[in-house]
Amino acid sequence: SQELEQSPQSLIVQEGKNLTINCTSSKTLYGLYWYKQKYGEGLIFLMMLQKGGEEKSHEKITAKLDEKKQQSSLHITASQPSHAGIYLCGADSPGDKIIFGKGTRLHILP
Amino acid sequence: GAGVSQSPRYKVAKRGQDVALRCDPISGHVSLFWYQQALGQGPEFLTYFQNEAQLDKSGLPSDRFFAERPEGSVSTLKIQRTQQEDSAVYLCASSHRDRGRTEAFFGQGTRLTVV
């Protein structure tokens, strides 16, 4: 079965600094999703990537899918306190469900 | 509705008690998913509906877990004879996934605590 590994598990950065979160799949990715979760709340959709080499940006967040479609990265530029939370990568899995990694917990220091 | 709505937001159950968790998906969304999220973990797939048909229930941890979506809209996840290990956040999501790969929209979740 497909598994997603996220790194790092936890990240503490100073406000204003850049950061990158990685997601690696054990199998080829046909649909890769990034979600953000505030502590104790539901998941908020950020971006979806499907094609090898694809890159999407929204405000200060950029997500990329590598050419081999087995790894994705999420990059945040000039981090702000509002970026704090749990970032989850998800992947399309047989049977139409989305499977998730364990998440990366991001803390922003003022 | 504007988003996926789940109720109750919080539920405390005594061990052995039955519970029912409700999910109202986004209007018109064909697909509906249930996930279980333990503390500090990512969401784990439980079951999937397309309209009223339960197409995949491979993630349900035991026969104490039962889900239904009788009219293809609202769904209920029922847990019988709750155990402490059932304590988790239960997330519901809906999407237009019958139209190809597309994102799923999540509700706020129901936090179940079994004491």
The 10s digit of each residue's pLDDT in B25-45 is: 999 899 999 999 999 899 999
pLDDT band for A96, please (50, 70, 90 cuts). Answer: confident
Mean of the per-residue pLDDT values of chain B:
93
Q: If you measure CA to CA, which chain B residue comes closest to A101?
A: B42
CB-nearest partner of B106 from A30, A42, A48: A42
The arithmetic mean of pLDDT across residues B77-83, rounded, is: 98
pLDDT band for A29, please (50, 70, 90 cuts). Answer: confident
The arithmetic mean of pLDDT across residues B69-74, rounded, is: 95
Secondary structure (DSSP) of A33-45: EEEEE-TTS-EEE
Give phi and psi for A82, each to the nearest 5: -70, -15
The arithmetic mean of pLDDT across residues A20-41, rounded, is: 91
Q: Confirm or reject contact between B57 and chain A (CB < 8 A).
A: no
> CA of A4, closest CA in chain B: separation in Å?
10
Q: Confirm or reject contact between A12 and chain B (CB < 8 A).
A: no
What's the CA gap between A88 and A61, in Å, rounded? Answer: 14
Residue A82's SS3 state is helix
Give phi and psi for B24, each to the nearest 5: -105, 110
Q: Confirm or reject contact between B114 and chain A (CB < 8 A).
A: no
The confidence score (pLDDT) of residue B98 equals 61
The arithmetic mean of pLDDT across residues A31-44, rounded, is: 91
